[in-house]
Structure 1
Amino acid sequence: MIPTPSIATPPIPIDVVFRALADPTRRRVLERLVSSPASVSELAEPFDMALPSFVEHLRVLEGSGLVNSQKKGRIRTYRLETEPMKLAENWLSKQRTLWERRLDQLDDYMLTLMEENK
């Protein structure tokens, strides 16, 4: 029997969000958008890169749902979307709770060992 190649499943939304957040340029764009929506040229101004390269960062952010854009005439304006950030925050919160519990258990175990070795 010849094995069939597996078809990769699309990443879950949180993977897309974390992939978008992994880049410092994209994080700086999000930080800028916290204050107000902005045009592509306003967002690109502080970055030393070609506009097509910068626009690719915006596409990644929009594809992750972290931003959305609207075009009026020749101006495309981007604004922050909060739901994907909440998804990431909830995941991180669950991980923090899990690891805090595990570290507390380790601490209890270490204290028990120390008491037994006295």
Structure 2
Amino acid sequence: MSNIISQLPADFATLEPFVAKWALGTGKQRHEARLDSTKAELQTFYDAILPEMRKLLAALDQYALGTLPEELHKLYWLSLSFAEVAPHIELYKGSVGVPYAFAEKRFIYETGNVVNV
């Protein structure tokens, strides 16, 4: 018997291994998680979430903006991390950064704004 407490609804148990790394509450955290990942980690996350996206979005779409129950926040944050990762798999061949662009770590977040340094 496992002592691990599920952080997601039972219908999404297969996504549980991704909660610690990808269920992050801010855009800055999700951005940094992508930059600190490997190509293989991005691909593994993408491959696990993609087949669940229709069901995941349907579960979230049952609630009006601002009324999402606390128990679904991590599921919502996983969907936002998927949006952060997907272009890097689909467009950039798994690159954690944007090819032929400024190094993203040159930019810092300040109270929701991005500032170039």
The TM-score with structure 1 as length reference comes to 0.28
> Which structure: greater strand fraction?
1
Question: Normalising by the residue count of structure 2, what TM-score does the alignment of the two structures yield?
Answer: 0.29
Name the one with the larger helix percent. Answer: 1
